[in-house]
Amino acid sequence: MIEELDVVRLTEDIPSLRLLAGMRGTVVAIYGDHDVYYVEFVDDAGYTIALTELRPNQVELVWRVATHADVDAVKPATRESLEPVSILGYTLDQASRLSGLSRRQLQSWANSGFLKPSVESARDRRFGRIYSFKDIVGLRTLAVLRIVHRVPPGDLRKVSEQFAAWPEKGWHNVQLWVRGRRVYFENPVSGQVHAGKQPPQTTMVIELDRIAADVRSELERLQQRRSGQIGKLERHRNVAANKMLISGTRISTEAIQKFRKAGYSNQEILAEFPALTEQDIEAALDFEEQRHRTIAS
């Protein structure tokens, strides 16, 4: 049975909320006899992209807070695996930083249909466009073709259309070739090469798996905490149901206190949250102690 603070995975797309099947979220509240789950979905920076009620048939359990472990039926994601990353959502600002393209360029391409994000909503401008990992790799590839190889817009559009049509599985094994300003690419399904012939030998090879690896490295760099955030707490609107968080993360002080009440030592808590330090844990526990004193008084 799913409990509060468990991690779940969506089993279906919810276009109205900009959510894709496979995206992971945290259960922050449970209504009735487990009739409805209130689930928060965040991007890689820890900012909320959706906070919504879901029925049991819309989610499946991935990580159980009671045992602090992945559910056996679900294969844990690994750092080497590209597929699990493709289900995460990235905002316009993050897409701009990761692709090397300006916000204005991304907005122009999305508005014209040149390359649309996986999820788009005209109703909510805060989270109106959410890019998948595959989208980001596609944008970064187009940026290389446009800026480095000066491929003309017409050919860029053809690459974009082909990229959008490629399947979710196996797309990162594709290679592109550039000679002059012409692009050749292999269809991952049929194995055929654009223009019906193999590219000339004197070409520049662009491997999507390498671009994907570059994006992953940039993501890890963006996620690193600054020294000034160590031992600090912060609270933001639209993040983790407005709970107090350890600065630079989406780990709540409440979660740290629950681990301590469960008998976890500082070192055991650090094993669960490698990004934290002793200072973070002490700051979280001090805050929770003061908060409960205030409530008791």
Nearest to 27 by CA among 17, 13, 38: 38
Number of domains in the chain: 3
pLDDT for position 196: 37
| 93, 216: one domain | yes
pLDDT band, very low/low/confident/very high, at 32 (cuts 50, 70, 90): confident
Place of tokens 């820890």: 46
pLDDT band, very low/low/confident/very high, at 161 (cuts 50, 70, 90): confident
What would the pLDDT profile of 40-54 be if each residue is shown by its tens digit?
887 655 556 777 889
For residue 36, the domain's CATH number is: 2.30.30
Residue 12 has a CB neighbour count (10 Å cut-off) of 12
| 33, 140: one domain | no
Lowest mean pLDDT among 10-24, 121-135, 152-166: 121-135
Name the most confidently modeled range: 11-20, 76-85, 122-131.
Answer: 11-20
| 184, 281: one domain | no
Please give the C-alpha separations between residue 214 and each of 36, 78, 134, 208, in angstroms, as whole numbers: 39, 16, 13, 10
pLDDT for position 278: 94
For residue 137, the domain's CATH number is: 1.10.1660.10
Nearest to 98 by CA among 111, 85, 108: 85
pLDDT for position 241: 61
Please give the C-alpha separations between residue 255 and each of 4, 191, 258, 281, in angstroms, as whole numbers: 11, 49, 5, 10
| 193, 113: one domain | yes
154 lies in some domain? yes
- For residues 167 and 25, the model is more confident at 25
Name the most confidently modeled range: 18-32, 205-219, 228-242, 278-292.
Answer: 278-292
The residues pairing with 204 across neighbouring beta strands, listed in sequence order, are: 178
Structure tokens at 73: 């039926």
82 lies in some domain? no
27 contact partners, CB below 8 Å, separation of at least 6: 2, 3, 4, 5, 6, 7, 8, 37, 38, 39
Lowest mean pLDDT among 3-17, 19-33, 138-152, 167-181: 167-181
State what percent of residues in the chain have pLDDT above 90.
11
User: Domain boundary at 195, 221, 247, which?
Assistant: 221
pLDDT for position 68: 56
Mean pLDDT of 221-237: 79
User: Domain boundary at 173, 194, 221, which?
Assistant: 221
Distance of CA 62 to the CA centre of its chain: 16
At position 9, the amino acid (one-letter code) is R
pLDDT for position 262: 81
Q: How much is the mean pLDDT over the chain?
A: 76
Mean pLDDT of 178-197: 64
| 179, 103: one domain | yes
Per the structure, the complete domain to which residue 291 belongs is given by: 227-296
Q: Are 31 and 79 in contact (CB under 8 A)?
A: no
Residue 265 has a CB neighbour count (10 Å cut-off) of 11
121 lies in some domain? yes
User: Domain boundary at 221, 246, 277, which?
Assistant: 221
272-281 burial, b if ≥16 CB within 10 A, otherwise e?
Answer: ebeebbeebb
Structure tokens at 162: 């082909």
2 lies in some domain? no
| 174, 268: one domain | no
192 lies in some domain? yes
| 53, 35: one domain | yes
Q: pTM above the 0.75 mark?
A: no
